[in-house]
Structure 1
Protein backbone atom coordinates (compact mmCIF):
# COMPACT_ATOMS: atom_id res chain seq x y z
CA UNK A 1 0.00 0.00 0.00
CA UNK A 2 1.20 3.47 -0.82
CA UNK A 3 0.46 6.62 1.15
CA UNK A 4 -0.33 9.40 -1.24
CA UNK A 5 0.21 13.06 -0.37
CA UNK A 6 -1.54 14.85 -3.19
CA UNK A 7 -2.00 18.56 -3.79
CA UNK A 8 -4.07 19.99 -6.64
CA UNK A 9 -3.82 23.40 -8.23
CA UNK A 10 -5.41 25.31 -11.03
CA UNK A 11 -2.80 26.37 -13.57
CA UNK A 12 -2.17 30.11 -13.91
CA UNK A 13 0.01 30.21 -17.04
CA UNK A 14 1.40 28.14 -19.90
CA UNK A 15 4.98 28.33 -18.54
CA UNK A 16 4.80 24.67 -17.43
CA UNK A 17 4.92 23.58 -21.09
CA UNK A 18 8.65 24.41 -21.24
CA UNK A 19 9.44 21.65 -18.72
CA UNK A 20 7.30 18.77 -20.07
CA UNK A 21 9.17 15.46 -19.99
CA UNK A 22 6.34 13.08 -21.00
CA UNK A 23 2.85 13.27 -22.53
CA UNK A 24 0.23 10.57 -21.83
CA UNK A 25 -3.31 10.62 -23.27
CA UNK A 26 -5.69 8.71 -21.02
CA UNK A 27 -9.25 7.90 -20.14
CA UNK A 28 -10.59 6.94 -16.77
CA UNK A 29 -13.90 5.90 -15.35
CA UNK A 30 -15.25 5.04 -11.94
CA UNK A 31 -16.82 1.81 -10.81
CA UNK A 32 -17.66 3.03 -7.30
CA UNK A 33 -17.35 6.24 -5.31
CA UNK A 34 -18.18 7.33 -1.79
CA UNK A 35 -16.91 10.25 0.30
CA UNK A 36 -14.10 8.12 1.75
CA UNK A 37 -13.25 5.83 -1.19
CA UNK A 38 -13.19 5.37 -4.93
CA UNK A 39 -12.54 2.58 -7.41
CA UNK A 40 -11.44 3.59 -10.91
CA UNK A 41 -10.00 2.15 -14.08
CA UNK A 42 -7.48 4.22 -16.04
CA UNK A 43 -6.56 3.34 -19.61
CA UNK A 44 -3.36 4.64 -21.24
CA UNK A 45 -2.48 3.41 -24.71
CA UNK A 46 -2.29 -0.36 -24.25
CA UNK A 47 -2.24 -0.53 -20.44
CA UNK A 48 -4.99 -0.47 -17.83
CA UNK A 49 -4.74 0.11 -14.09
CA UNK A 50 -7.35 -0.55 -11.40
CA UNK A 51 -6.96 1.95 -8.54
CA UNK A 52 -8.64 2.03 -5.14
CA UNK A 53 -8.28 5.07 -2.88
CA UNK A 54 -9.35 5.25 0.76
CA UNK A 55 -9.46 8.10 3.23
CA UNK A 56 -11.05 11.48 3.77
CA UNK A 57 -8.10 13.73 4.55
CA UNK A 58 -7.52 16.48 2.02
CA UNK A 59 -3.90 15.61 1.25
CA UNK A 60 -3.22 12.06 2.45
CA UNK A 61 -5.03 8.89 1.36
CA UNK A 62 -4.23 5.20 1.03
CA UNK A 63 -3.90 4.05 -2.57
CA UNK A 64 -3.77 0.57 -4.10
CA UNK A 65 -3.01 0.10 -7.81
CA UNK A 66 -3.02 -3.06 -9.91
CA UNK A 67 -2.45 -3.62 -13.62
CA UNK A 68 -5.38 -5.39 -15.27
CA UNK A 69 -5.79 -6.90 -18.74
CA UNK A 70 -6.97 -4.38 -21.34
CA UNK A 71 -9.87 -6.67 -22.30
CA UNK A 72 -11.08 -6.59 -18.67
CA UNK A 73 -10.82 -2.80 -18.57
CA UNK A 74 -12.84 -2.48 -21.77
CA UNK A 75 -15.48 -4.83 -20.39
CA UNK A 76 -15.60 -2.92 -17.07
CA UNK A 77 -16.34 0.32 -18.96
CA UNK A 78 -19.93 -0.94 -19.31
CA UNK A 79 -20.22 -0.67 -15.51
CA UNK A 80 -18.88 2.89 -15.30
CA UNK A 81 -20.87 5.33 -13.24
CA UNK A 82 -21.16 8.80 -14.70
CA UNK A 83 -19.02 9.97 -17.61
CA UNK A 84 -15.65 8.78 -18.83
CA UNK A 85 -13.01 11.42 -18.06
CA UNK A 86 -10.70 12.17 -20.99
CA UNK A 87 -7.47 14.05 -20.48
CA UNK A 88 -3.89 14.39 -21.58
CA UNK A 89 -1.40 14.17 -18.73
CA UNK A 90 1.83 16.11 -19.07
CA UNK A 91 4.61 15.18 -16.67
CA UNK A 92 6.46 18.36 -15.81
CA UNK A 93 9.74 18.56 -13.91
CA UNK A 94 10.25 21.37 -11.40
CA UNK A 95 13.21 21.15 -9.05
CA UNK A 96 13.22 17.61 -7.65
CA UNK A 97 9.55 16.87 -8.28
CA UNK A 98 7.36 15.75 -11.15
CA UNK A 99 4.06 17.58 -11.49
CA UNK A 100 1.22 16.00 -13.44
CA UNK A 101 -0.56 18.65 -15.46
CA UNK A 102 -3.87 17.34 -16.77
CA UNK A 103 -5.44 19.07 -19.76
CA UNK A 104 -9.03 17.89 -19.84
CA UNK A 105 -11.12 17.19 -22.91
CA UNK A 106 -14.77 16.36 -23.47
CA UNK A 107 -17.19 17.96 -21.01
CA UNK A 108 -14.26 19.53 -19.15
CA UNK A 109 -12.44 20.91 -22.18
CA UNK A 110 -10.36 23.95 -21.19
CA UNK A 111 -9.82 22.85 -17.59
CA UNK A 112 -6.14 22.42 -16.61
CA UNK A 113 -5.23 21.04 -13.19
CA UNK A 114 -1.75 20.32 -11.82
CA UNK A 115 -1.21 17.61 -9.23
CA UNK A 116 1.80 16.98 -7.06
CA UNK A 117 2.01 13.52 -5.48
CA UNK A 118 4.92 13.05 -3.10
CA UNK A 119 5.81 11.01 -0.03
CA UNK A 120 6.60 14.32 1.73
CA UNK A 121 4.91 17.72 1.98
CA UNK A 122 6.48 20.34 -0.31
CA UNK A 123 6.65 23.87 1.17
CA UNK A 124 4.70 26.53 -0.73
CA UNK A 125 7.94 28.46 -1.36
CA UNK A 126 9.22 25.52 -3.46
CA UNK A 127 6.17 25.39 -5.77
CA UNK A 128 6.49 26.63 -9.37
CA UNK A 129 5.23 30.11 -10.25
CA UNK A 130 2.89 28.77 -12.95
CA UNK A 131 0.61 27.20 -10.35
CA UNK A 132 -2.59 29.06 -9.57
CA UNK A 133 -5.07 28.67 -6.75
CA UNK A 134 -4.74 25.49 -4.70
CA UNK A 135 -7.88 23.35 -4.93
CA UNK A 136 -6.72 20.47 -2.71
CA UNK A 137 -9.73 19.22 -0.78
CA UNK A 138 -12.27 20.96 -3.04
CA UNK A 139 -14.52 18.06 -3.97
CA UNK A 140 -15.60 19.65 -7.28
CA UNK A 141 -12.04 19.13 -8.59
CA UNK A 142 -11.80 15.44 -7.75
CA UNK A 143 -11.93 13.34 -10.91
CA UNK A 144 -14.60 11.15 -9.30
CA UNK A 145 -16.77 14.24 -8.74
CA UNK A 146 -16.22 15.37 -12.31
CA UNK A 147 -17.36 11.96 -13.55
CA UNK A 148 -20.61 12.20 -11.59
CA UNK A 149 -21.59 15.88 -11.58
CA UNK A 150 -22.15 18.66 -14.03
CA UNK A 151 -19.29 21.10 -14.51
CA UNK A 152 -19.58 24.10 -12.20
CA UNK A 153 -19.64 27.38 -14.15
CA UNK A 154 -16.66 28.83 -12.25
CA UNK A 155 -14.36 25.88 -12.89
CA UNK A 156 -12.11 27.63 -15.44
Structure 2
Protein backbone atom coordinates (compact mmCIF):
# COMPACT_ATOMS: atom_id res chain seq x y z
CA UNK A 1 0.00 0.00 0.00
CA UNK A 2 1.37 3.45 -0.91
CA UNK A 3 2.02 5.79 1.96
CA UNK A 4 3.26 9.37 2.22
CA UNK A 5 4.69 10.82 5.41
CA UNK A 6 5.23 14.52 4.90
CA UNK A 7 5.74 17.56 7.08
CA UNK A 8 5.11 21.12 5.91
CA UNK A 9 6.73 24.37 6.99
CA UNK A 10 6.57 28.04 6.17
CA UNK A 11 9.83 29.70 5.29
CA UNK A 12 11.65 32.86 6.24
CA UNK A 13 11.21 35.01 3.11
CA UNK A 14 14.40 37.03 3.59
CA UNK A 15 16.60 33.95 4.08
CA UNK A 16 14.90 32.17 1.17
CA UNK A 17 15.52 35.13 -1.14
CA UNK A 18 19.24 35.14 -0.32
CA UNK A 19 19.61 31.34 -0.69
CA UNK A 20 21.51 29.97 -3.67
CA UNK A 21 19.08 27.52 -5.25
CA UNK A 22 18.71 25.43 -8.40
CA UNK A 23 16.28 26.33 -11.16
CA UNK A 24 12.68 25.72 -10.21
CA UNK A 25 10.15 23.66 -12.16
CA UNK A 26 6.82 25.15 -13.15
CA UNK A 27 3.88 23.05 -11.99
CA UNK A 28 0.25 23.23 -13.04
CA UNK A 29 -1.89 21.23 -10.63
CA UNK A 30 -5.61 20.56 -10.65
CA UNK A 31 -8.09 18.43 -8.76
CA UNK A 32 -10.61 16.03 -10.26
CA UNK A 33 -11.97 15.25 -6.79
CA UNK A 34 -11.49 17.04 -3.49
CA UNK A 35 -13.13 16.10 -0.23
CA UNK A 36 -12.01 15.60 3.35
CA UNK A 37 -11.30 11.88 2.88
CA UNK A 38 -9.63 11.79 -0.53
CA UNK A 39 -8.30 13.79 -3.46
CA UNK A 40 -7.57 12.92 -7.07
CA UNK A 41 -4.97 15.27 -8.50
CA UNK A 42 -3.47 15.83 -11.94
CA UNK A 43 -0.12 17.56 -12.23
CA UNK A 44 1.71 18.78 -15.31
CA UNK A 45 5.32 19.96 -15.29
CA UNK A 46 7.21 21.13 -18.34
CA UNK A 47 8.15 17.54 -19.19
CA UNK A 48 5.86 15.07 -17.38
CA UNK A 49 2.32 14.39 -16.23
CA UNK A 50 1.14 12.67 -13.06
CA UNK A 51 -2.11 11.32 -11.66
CA UNK A 52 -2.16 11.10 -7.85
CA UNK A 53 -4.76 9.69 -5.48
CA UNK A 54 -4.42 10.66 -1.81
CA UNK A 55 -6.33 9.56 1.25
CA UNK A 56 -7.20 11.46 4.40
CA UNK A 57 -4.25 12.85 6.35
CA UNK A 58 -3.77 11.59 9.89
CA UNK A 59 -0.91 13.42 11.60
CA UNK A 60 1.69 13.62 8.84
CA UNK A 61 0.68 10.36 7.11
CA UNK A 62 -1.75 9.49 4.36
CA UNK A 63 -2.24 6.88 1.67
CA UNK A 64 -0.83 8.01 -1.67
CA UNK A 65 -0.72 6.45 -5.12
CA UNK A 66 1.06 8.37 -7.87
CA UNK A 67 1.40 7.39 -11.51
CA UNK A 68 3.25 9.06 -14.34
CA UNK A 69 0.97 9.70 -17.31
CA UNK A 70 1.68 11.24 -20.72
CA UNK A 71 2.04 15.02 -20.49
CA UNK A 72 -0.55 15.55 -23.23
CA UNK A 73 -3.11 13.56 -21.24
CA UNK A 74 -2.31 15.48 -18.04
CA UNK A 75 -2.93 18.77 -19.85
CA UNK A 76 -6.18 17.45 -21.35
CA UNK A 77 -7.39 16.31 -17.92
CA UNK A 78 -6.52 19.71 -16.44
CA UNK A 79 -8.23 21.55 -19.30
CA UNK A 80 -11.44 19.48 -19.33
CA UNK A 81 -11.96 17.83 -15.94
CA UNK A 82 -10.22 19.86 -13.25
CA UNK A 83 -12.61 21.33 -10.67
CA UNK A 84 -9.99 23.63 -9.18
CA UNK A 85 -6.41 24.48 -10.07
CA UNK A 86 -3.24 26.17 -8.83
CA UNK A 87 0.19 26.95 -10.16
CA UNK A 88 3.57 27.08 -8.47
CA UNK A 89 7.28 26.81 -9.01
CA UNK A 90 8.88 23.89 -7.18
CA UNK A 91 12.47 23.95 -5.98
CA UNK A 92 14.29 20.84 -4.73
CA UNK A 93 16.85 21.76 -2.09
CA UNK A 94 19.24 19.17 -0.64
CA UNK A 95 20.02 19.66 3.05
CA UNK A 96 21.79 17.17 5.31
CA UNK A 97 20.85 14.09 3.31
CA UNK A 98 17.21 15.08 2.74
CA UNK A 99 15.46 16.75 -0.16
CA UNK A 100 13.21 19.66 0.70
CA UNK A 101 10.55 20.54 -1.87
CA UNK A 102 9.82 24.24 -1.71
CA UNK A 103 6.72 25.50 -3.50
CA UNK A 104 6.55 29.16 -4.46
CA UNK A 105 2.91 29.70 -5.34
CA UNK A 106 1.63 32.06 -8.02
CA UNK A 107 -1.75 33.32 -9.17
CA UNK A 108 -4.31 33.54 -6.35
CA UNK A 109 -1.77 32.01 -3.93
CA UNK A 110 1.06 34.41 -4.74
CA UNK A 111 3.07 35.35 -1.66
CA UNK A 112 2.79 31.88 -0.10
CA UNK A 113 5.88 29.67 0.08
CA UNK A 114 5.70 26.22 1.68
CA UNK A 115 8.57 23.77 2.27
CA UNK A 116 7.83 20.04 2.50
CA UNK A 117 9.98 17.12 3.57
CA UNK A 118 9.07 13.45 3.06
CA UNK A 119 10.04 11.06 5.83
CA UNK A 120 10.32 7.31 6.38
CA UNK A 121 8.35 7.50 9.66
CA UNK A 122 6.55 10.12 11.72
CA UNK A 123 9.20 9.76 14.42
CA UNK A 124 12.15 10.29 12.07
CA UNK A 125 14.40 13.12 13.22
CA UNK A 126 15.89 15.73 10.91
CA UNK A 127 17.44 19.16 11.13
CA UNK A 128 15.72 22.27 9.83
CA UNK A 129 17.50 24.56 7.39
CA UNK A 130 17.79 28.11 8.75
CA UNK A 131 15.32 29.33 6.09
CA UNK A 132 12.54 27.15 7.54
CA UNK A 133 10.28 28.73 10.14
CA UNK A 134 6.85 27.64 11.44
CA UNK A 135 5.53 24.08 11.01
CA UNK A 136 2.07 23.92 9.40
CA UNK A 137 1.74 20.15 8.81
CA UNK A 138 -1.62 19.85 10.54
CA UNK A 139 -3.08 23.16 9.36
CA UNK A 140 -5.51 22.14 6.62
CA UNK A 141 -5.59 25.57 4.99
CA UNK A 142 -2.05 24.84 3.69
CA UNK A 143 -3.11 21.66 1.86
CA UNK A 144 -2.76 22.27 -1.86
CA UNK A 145 -6.30 21.03 -2.47
CA UNK A 146 -7.65 23.59 0.02
CA UNK A 147 -5.57 26.37 -1.57
CA UNK A 148 -7.60 25.86 -4.75
CA UNK A 149 -10.83 26.46 -2.80
CA UNK A 150 -9.70 29.20 -0.41
CA UNK A 151 -6.57 30.75 -1.92
CA UNK A 152 -3.95 32.60 0.10
CA UNK A 153 -5.08 36.02 -1.24
CA UNK A 154 -8.45 35.52 0.53
CA UNK A 155 -6.93 34.85 3.95
CA UNK A 156 -6.32 38.49 4.74
Give 1:132's aligned residue. Answer: 133
* Structure ranking higher in strand proportion: 1
CA distance in 1, matches of 2:74, 2:66: 14
Task: Sort the Cα spacing of 1:61 and 1:97 in 2 relative to 1 into closer, same or farther, 3 A.
Answer: same
**What's the TM-score, normalizing by structure 2?**
0.87
* Alpha-carbon separation, structure 1, partners of 2:43 and 2:131: 27
5 Å matches for 1:47-86? Answer: 47-77=48-78, 78-82=80-84, 84-86=85-87
Per the TM alignment, residue 44 of structure 1 is displaced from its structure 2 partner at its CA by 0.6
Q: CA RMSD in A?
A: 1.9
Structure 1 position 38, deviation (Å): 0.7
What is the CA-CA distance between 1:123 and the residue it aligns to?
2.9
Aligned pairs, how many? 152
SS of the residue corresponding to residue 116 of structure 2 reads strand
CA deviation map 1:80-125 (0-9, x unaligned): 112x21100011111010101111110111111100112134436x
User: Which consecutive residues of structure 2, in runs of 5 or more, have no partner in the other structure?
Assistant: none
CA contact (8 A) 2:109 2:151 kept: no
